[in-house]
């Protein structure tokens, strides 16, 4: 299983004081040194954290693939076509949300999303679709020719009881199995932390996890490279070495 690190929240800290630091591009370089497999940045329409210069610079600064998370907003699509990230992950976007709240509904928005998928693919960008772990959504992703799906683990990560956790895991497992059998590359992400990742790594059909908030939070205490190394070890299925290390990230 691969690890993509989302550095948006380094930029969130920068936005808090309108400073030049901390720089998410420097964070991306350190994450790469720590061994992550890709870097994710979400250029939101409202530019609340990642800025245009970040996506321009990171493309030049890192060797691992750059995965640009984005909506299908026309201005952002044009930026993607200019920057040419290795991958674009299409997500729904609402101005008021704290973070992405759900997957794109490919049944409702099939034609609009398909048009953007084709447009980005014509520029040589690999396209991933962020969808809820539902088989019909994966079916639509396949039908519109996207090679990658990222299943939304948000509901799983917000689940509080073992019963609701099990229900969500079952949904993720079934959707991941279906997507893999259909020949899609399967990623997952949203709300994954150093504890709840342990059940997700058991799902062998998932080939990549994209994780942001928990890694950047842990970086406050242990540094960003250590935070990435620890998560990489968990994603690789290893136990965290230091006792009690994950309690207070």
Residue in 9, 32, 42, 230 annotated catalytic: 42
User: In sequence order, what are the residues at sequence separation of 6 or more whose Cβ sits closer than 8 angstroms to the Cβ of residue 178?
Assistant: 135, 138, 139
Q: Which helix (H) or strand (E) is 249 found in, with range?
A: none
Binding string to ligand PXP for residues 12 to 51, with x set by CB under 6 A, is what?
A: ------------------------------x---------
Q: Does 5 bind ligand PXP (CB under 6 A)?
A: no
Catalytic residue status for 9: no
CA distance 183 to 39: 24
CA distances from 134 to 10, 53, 131, 149, 171 (A): 31, 36, 8, 11, 7
Measure CA 220 to chain center: 20
User: In sequence order, what are the residues at sequence separation of 6 or more whose Cβ sits closer than 8 angstroms to the Cβ of residue 78?
Assistant: none
Q: Does 133 bind ligand PXP (CB under 6 A)?
A: no
Range list of H helices, 62-212 = 74-83, 110-122, 135-143, 154-158, 162-181, 197-200
Q: Does 104 bind ligand PXP (CB under 6 A)?
A: no
CA distance 218 to 8: 14
Catalytic residue status for 69: yes
Nearer to ligand PXP, 37 or 243 (CB): 37
Give me the residues paired with residue 88 across strands. Answer: 68, 127
Residues touching ligand PXP: how many (CB under 6 A)? 19
Q: Does 150 bind ligand PXP (CB under 6 A)?
A: yes
Residue in 9, 32, 49, 190 annotated catalytic: 190
Q: Does 230 bind ligand PXP (CB under 6 A)?
A: no
Which residue of 3, 5, 7, 8 would you call a contact of ligand PXP, by CB under 6 A? 8
> Segment contacting ligand PXP (CB under 6 A): 54-62, 105-113, 206-214, 232-240?
206-214
Nearer to ligand PXP, 25 or 104 (CB): 104
Question: Is 239 exposed, middle or buried, given 0-12, 13-18 or 19+ CB atoms closer than 10 A?
Answer: exposed
Nearer to ligand PXP, 98 or 243 (CB): 98
Given a contact cutoff of 8 angstroms between Cβ atoms, the answer to whether 93 and 45 are in contact is: yes
Catalytic residue status for 49: no
Given a contact cutoff of 8 angstroms between Cβ atoms, the answer to whether 216 and 192 are in contact is: no
What's the closest the beta carbon of residue 134 comes to ligand PXP, in angstroms? 15
Binding string to ligand PXP for residues 112 to 131, with x set by CB under 6 A, is what?
A: ------------------x-
Give catalytic residue positions: 42, 69, 190
- Which positions lie near ligand PXP, rule CB under 6 A? 6, 8, 42, 69, 89, 91, 99-100, 130, 150, 189-192, 210-214
């Amino acid at each position: 299983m691969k690890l993509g690190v989302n550095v948006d929240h380094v930029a969130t800290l920068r936005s808090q004081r309108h400073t030049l630091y901390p720089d998410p591009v420097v964070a991306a370089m350190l994450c790469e040194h720590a061994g992550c497999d890709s870097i994710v940045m979400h250029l939101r329409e409202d530019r609340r954290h990642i800025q245009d210069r970040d996506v321009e610079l990171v493309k030049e600064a890192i060797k691992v693939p750059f995965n640009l998370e984005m909506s299908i907003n026309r201005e952002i699509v044009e930026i993607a076509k200019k920057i040419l990230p290795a991958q674009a992950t299409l997500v729904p976007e609402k101005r008021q949300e704290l973070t992405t709240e759900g997957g794109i509904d490919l049944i409702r928005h099939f034609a609009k999303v398909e048009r953007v998928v084709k447009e980005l693919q014509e520029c040589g960008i690999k396209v991933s679709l962020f969808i809820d772990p539902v088989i019909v959504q994966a079916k639509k992703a396949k039908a519109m020719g996207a090679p990658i799906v990222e299943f939304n683990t948000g509901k799983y990560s917000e689940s509080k009881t073992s019963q609701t956790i099990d229900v969500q895991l079952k949904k993720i497992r079934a959707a991941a199995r279906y997507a893999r059998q259909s020949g899609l590359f399967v990623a997952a992400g949203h709300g994954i932390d150093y504890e709840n990742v342990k059940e997700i790594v058991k799902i062998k059909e998932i080939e990549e996890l994209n994780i942001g908030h928990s890694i950047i939070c842990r970086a406050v205490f242990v540094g960003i490279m250590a935070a990435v190394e620890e998560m990489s070890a968990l994603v690789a299925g290893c136990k965290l070495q230091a006792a009690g290390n994950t309690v207070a990230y």
